Each structure stands twice: as C-alpha cells, then as structure tokens.
C-alpha cells in the first residue's frame, strides 16, 4: 500500500494538532502578532463579495463561484496548500491501494455538523452516495465515473471502491465534492437550498438572497484557532468601485480589488494582500462549438491568436494576471511547457487573419457572447471585442446576471461566454468539464477519440509531479484539437482591508474564506 498523504500534509496536520492542544485564551495574541495586540473574538467582520451564490446546497450548485462562500459553512474532506498538493482537513489521512481499486479515508475525531451530528464514516458514505445518485446532483459527473460504492469500515474509516483511477481524489475532495452535509438534512434535501447544514465554522443565521448573508461562528467547531471573530457579514457588491468606496468609508472590513485599485487602496491607508502563487482560476472566453463558425478548428485557432493577453493583463489588471493560453499558468503543477513552446500564447493578429482566410472567412463573421454583470468581466469583453474586430470578427455583447450568463452557456443557448473560471482544487475538475463531451463547459461536445484516456491518465497517481507529466500530454492534445475554451490570463487575487486585519493569507484555488481562516482582527 502507498500512503497518498504527502510529507508536507503530515507536517501540516501535526501543526494543527499542536496549536489545538495549546490554544490560547482570547486575551493572548495569536502567533505572529505584536506583543500588545489582542484578537477580538467578539468582533464582526464584514466582507464584500462579487457573486450571489446560486444554491446553498453544495451538491446542486451550478457555478464554481458558489464555492468560496460555501467554505464558511461546509468543511471539506481535504484541503490544498499553495503548491496545489492535498492536505488533511475533515479527513486526517487517506490511502490509495497499490492496485488502484480502493481509496480509504480516515476521519478526524471531534468534528461535528451544525446540528450536533458527528462527521463519521456513515455520514461521509451517505454524502458520497447522494452526490453520485441524486438526479439533481451537479457533481455526479465528477465522482460517478470514479467511485463504484462506499463502505463503512469503522466509525472513522470509510472505504471507496473504485471503477476508475482515483489518484485525483485527495485534491478533488478539497472542493464542492468534499463538502459534507448533515445526515439529518439529507432527509429533506429541498431545504438545503436556503438552509445549509454543514460541518464548517459558521452557521447561516439570516440572509437576504442576492444582497447579504449573516453568519455566526459555532462555539463547538473543532478548530479553536480558525476564524477568531464571532460574526461574519457577507455582502454582495458587484461593482468594483462600490466595493472599494465602501471599504474606504469603513463600511466593510475586507474586499477584493482589481488592477490599479491596489495602489489606490494603499494610498488610502488600507492594507493589501497579493496572492503570490497561481491557482486554477483564469479569465477566459468559452465558445459553443456546436454553433456558428466555432465548429471549425481554424476559427478557434484564429481567435486564440487574436487575443492580446499581455495587453489585457497590463490594462485591466495592472499586470496582476499571468498571461497564458492554457488554463494552468506557469508555476502550477499542471502547466504544460509543451504548450508554451508551441507559440499559442503569442499575440499574432496576422496569423489570425491567415487562419480565417484558410477557413473561408476572410471577411470575418459575427457572434454574440454573454457577459456577467461584473465590471472586470465587462471590461475584459470590451478588450476582446476590440482584439477580434482587428481581424474582422464582430463580437456582440449581452450582459446578464452571473448565474443567468453561466446557465445560458452550459445549456447551449449562447454562442459564447466571457468571464472567469472560479478555480478548483484539482485541475481535473476543469479538464473533465471543458474537454469531455456535453459537459458543463463544453456544450458543443468538442473532444477527440483520445481525450478520455488522457484525462484518465491525469488521475492515475496521487503524486503531483507524475500528474504534471500527464497534464502536459493532455494539454498537447487539447491544443492540437484547437480548444473551444480560450484562456486569457490567471489573476493573482488581490484583497484590501482595514488596518485592524491580521494574518490574512491567500492560498490559490481556495478563495477568501480560506484566507480568512487564520485571520484575526483587533478592536
């Protein structure tokens, strides 16, 4: 048997256990604080977010943008570190059998759901069965092909019987598929859409859908050092200027900022934090290959060459967006050097015109892209519109609510979607969605005969270096095909906050909720 938990994960778990065993009272400053600083465990933190959650049921949501908010309420089985490697969370260890047929999880002691039910093997097995078999599950396509069945070995141990390679499970379980729902709530699943019941640090106590969500920290949460404040007010503020203005006025504690807003926030005396490592989030334009001219490989390749990625990064993100034609940017383990060497990241309008002429479209064509009502998405769409106009392609824009825009694309009713892939803890979650037939990010069903095997190869090992080699081969196939998902750049998340905020540490692919986990505030 080969243990799949990396050494760094064991070390991380040891650190957590050490901190838990010697947790300090609220009058003692957390590690890294100045000697006269005191964590205010009664504080209310107000965070301004971008996107309204589509569903508070983690297994039925339709957009990746739900996940950062849901992390406050739902702990996952695993988590990931800055390098993208898995680490313990609700599961303290795991093991993939040498023959690859079973995957065993050992759960931590003492974790409970918001209703007091234990997070035990029976609860995990019930959640996995639901995710795979529920007709309304939006994650069944991820777990269903991998897991044949689950068995309770003992109170803390659950065994998964596999029907496909399970090497990606440690990182897959750090996302929506690892969010555990209380078994009691599973008996009334329709209520979960508005009344979540997770094992996370917070309980939702009130909300105005689409506007604000009030959460309170659970007194019985297993990690005493997590979220060292009492209340969290989560506001939806779509406009980037509105968010920064509210922060400068002292109405909020934290928010994300874009581009030159980082310097503006610093000039106003606010703290800023830049995520130093890339994750799996990236700005993109997704094409419905069943519509219009997008079924032609030459057209897709032409549009890829027409995009000025560096210009978009510089103009809209103040350089804080790593230009890349592939969904996995440099520095992330799934990044392909082969694709970099192919030249597809190069801005080349002359090549774009040449390819269009070869496709019989020298005079260009027109299409309509749906765009969420977020200023950064709209601004990106306007630059893309100008880029494509240079080579004779007219891109009309239809601005919709974020959830509506996403729904229009995945159902195949839209020609294209401009936005940001929200990121995931495993690169395979995007690969399966983007390159498998009729999946969420591939309504046109664009694929190749070899694609399924290449995706499966990325999941054979739990070792991220071995998986990186497999992703190189996958990306080579994707670009030979001519991707219908045109990556632009990978944003390095930037947040701004009040001077009272301490230890806000961003981790790629996990969002603000993870960065706020060890955060503390002073009065």
Do 185 and 302 lie in one domain? The reply is no
* Strand (E) or helix (H) holding 512: helix 512-515
Comparing CA positions, the residue from 159, 95, 148 lying closest to residue 121 is 159
pLDDT, average across residues 226-232: 96
pLDDT at 36: 64
Between 330 and 28, name the one with better pLDDT: 330
21, pLDDT greater than 50: no
pLDDT, average across residues 276-287: 85
pLDDT at 424: 84
Residues in the chain, total: 523
Indicate whether 69 belongs to any domain: no
What whole-number distance in Å separates Cα of residue 50 and Cα of residue 243?
A: 9
Indicate whether 168 belongs to any domain: yes
Contact 388, 395 (CB under 8 A): yes
Q: Return the minimum-mean-pLDDT range out of 291-300, 491-500, 510-519.
A: 510-519
Helix (DSSP H) and strand (DSSP E) numbers for the chain: 18, 22
Between 222 and 65, name the one with better pLDDT: 222
If one counts the domains in the chain, the total is: 2
The pLDDT mean for the chain works out to: 89
277, pLDDT greater than 90: no
Q: Residue 135's domain spans which residues?
A: 2-23+75-193
Do 287 and 188 lie in one domain? The reply is no
Last residue of a domain, one of 135, 158, 193: 193
Do 362 and 474 lie in one domain? The reply is yes
pLDDT digits (tens, 9 = 90+) for 65-99: 788 899 999 999 999 887 788 999 999 999 999 99
pLDDT digits (tens, 9 = 90+) for 133-169: 999 998 998 999 999 999 999 999 999 999 999 999 9
Between 131 and 506, name the one with better pLDDT: 131
What whole-number distance in Å separates Cα of residue 222 and Cα of residue 477?
A: 45
271, pLDDT greater than 90: yes
Do 454 and 350 lie in one domain? The reply is yes
pLDDT at 23: 31
Do 306 and 439 lie in one domain? The reply is yes
399, pLDDT greater than 70: yes
Burial class of residue 212 in the structure, from the number of CB atoms within 10 Å of its CB (0-12 exposed, 13-18 middle, 19+ buried): middle
Do 451 and 314 lie in one domain? The reply is yes
| Residue 191, φ and ψ in degrees, nearest 5 | -70, -20
Last residue of a domain, one of 165, 193, 221: 193
Indicate whether 222 belongs to any domain: no
pLDDT, average across residues 214-223: 97
Burial class of residue 328 in the structure, from the number of CB atoms within 10 Å of its CB (0-12 exposed, 13-18 middle, 19+ buried): buried
The torsion defined by the Cα of 60, 65, 67 and 73, in degrees rounded to 10, comes to -90
Q: CA 361 from chain center: how many Å?
A: 37
pTM confidence score: 0.82
Q: What is the domain-level CATH number for residue 141?
A: 3.90.76.10
What whole-number distance in Å separates Cα of residue 270 and Cα of residue 263?
A: 10
Indicate whether 8 belongs to any domain: yes
Return the structure tokens found at 483.
Answer: 């991707």
pLDDT, average across residues 414-432: 90
Q: What is the domain-level CATH number for residue 457?
A: 3.10.105.10
What whole-number distance in Å separates Cα of residue 421 and Cα of residue 411?
A: 17
Q: What burial letters (b/e) apply to 51-89, b meaning 16+ CB within 10 Å?
A: bbbbbbbbbbbebbbbbbbbbbbbbbbbbbbbebbbbbb
3-state percent helix, strand, coil for the chain, nearest multiple of 5: 35, 25, 45
Do 19 and 126 lie in one domain? The reply is yes
Indicate whether 220 belongs to any domain: no
DSSP secondary structure, 157-203, as one string: EEEEEESS--TTHHHHTTSGGGB-B-HHHHTSGGGGGTS--BSSSEE
pLDDT at 342: 79
Last residue of a domain, one of 193, 224, 255: 193
Indicate whether 203 belongs to any domain: no
Comparing CA positions, the residue from 498, 33, 425 lying closest to residue 273 is 498
Contact 168, 175 (CB under 8 A): no
Contact 346, 278 (CB under 8 A): no
pLDDT, average across residues 18-31: 34
Do 188 and 330 lie in one domain? The reply is no
What whole-number distance in Å separates Cα of residue 369 and Cα of residue 314?
A: 23
Q: What burial letters (b/e) apply to 215-254, b meaning 16+ CB within 10 Å?
A: bebbeebbbebbbbbeebbbbbbbebeebbebbbeeebbb
pLDDT at 14: 32
28, pLDDT greater than 70: no
pLDDT digits (tens, 9 = 90+) for 433-442: 899 887 888 9
């Amino acid at each position: 048997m080969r243990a799949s938990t990396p050494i760094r994960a064991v070390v991380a778990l040891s650190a957590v256990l050490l901190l838990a065993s010697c947790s300090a009272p609220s009058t003692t400053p957390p590690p890294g604080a100045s000697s006269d600083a005191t964590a205010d465990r009664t504080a209310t933190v107000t965070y301004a977010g971008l996107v309204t959650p589509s569903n508070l049921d983690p297994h039925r949501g339709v957009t990746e943008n739900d996940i950062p908010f849901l992390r406050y309420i739902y702990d996952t089985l695993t988590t990931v570190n800055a390098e993208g490697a898995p680490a313990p969370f609700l599961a303290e260890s795991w093991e993939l059998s040498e023959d690859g047929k079973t995957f065993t999880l050992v759960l931590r002691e003492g974790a409970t759901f918001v209703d007091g039910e234990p997070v035990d093997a029976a609860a995990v097995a019930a959640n996995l069965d639901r995710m795979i078999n529920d007709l309304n599950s939006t994650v069944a396509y991820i777990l269903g092909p991998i897991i044949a069945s689950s068995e309770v070995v003992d109170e803390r141990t659950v065994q998964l019987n596999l029907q496909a390679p399970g090497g990606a499970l440690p990182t897959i379980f750090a996302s929506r598929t690892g969010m555990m729902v209380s078994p009691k709530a599973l008996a009334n699943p329709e209520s979960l859409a508005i009344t979540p019941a997770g094992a996370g640090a917070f309980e939702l106590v009130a909300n105005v859908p689409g506007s604000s969500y009030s959460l309170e920290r659970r007194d019985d949460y297993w990690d005493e050092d997590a979220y060292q404040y009492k209340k969290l007010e989560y506001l939806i503020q779509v406009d980037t200027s509105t968010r920064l203005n509210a922060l400068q006025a002292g109405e909020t504690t934290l928010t994300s900022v874009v581009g030159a807003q980082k310097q503006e926030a610093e000039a106003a005396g606010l703290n800023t934090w830049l995520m130093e490592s890339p994750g799996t989030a990236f700005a993109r334009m997704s094409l419905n290959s069943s519509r219009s001219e997008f079924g032609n490989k030459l057209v897709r390749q032409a549009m890829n060459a027409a995009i000025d990625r560096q210009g978009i990064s510089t103009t809209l993100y103040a350089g804080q967006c790593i230009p890349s034609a592939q969904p996995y940017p440099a520095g992330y383990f799934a990044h392909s050097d082969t694709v970099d060497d192919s030249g597809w990241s190069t801005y080349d309008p002359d090549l774009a015109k040449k390819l269009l002429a070869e496709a019989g479209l020298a005079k260009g064509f027109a299409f309509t892209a749906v765009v969420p009502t977020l200023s950064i998405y709209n601004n990106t769409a306007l630059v893309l519109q100008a880029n494509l106009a240079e080579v004779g392609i007219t891109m009309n824009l239809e601005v919709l609510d974020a959830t509506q825009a996403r729904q229009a694309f995945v159902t195949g009713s839209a020609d294209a979607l401009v936005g940001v892939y929200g990121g995931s803890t495993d690169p395979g979650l995007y690969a399966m969605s983007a390159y498998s037939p009729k999946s969420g990010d591939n309504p046109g069903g664009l694929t190749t005969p070899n694609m399924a095997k290449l995706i499966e190869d990325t999941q054979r090992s739990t070792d991220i270096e071995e998986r990186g080699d497999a992703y190189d081969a996958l990306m080579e196939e994707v670009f030979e095909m001519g991707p219908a998902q045109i990556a632009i750049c990978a944003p390095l998340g930037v947040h701004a906050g009040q001077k009272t905020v301490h230890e806000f540490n961003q981790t790629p692919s996990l969002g603000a909720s993870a960065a706020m986990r060890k955060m503390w505030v002073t009065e």
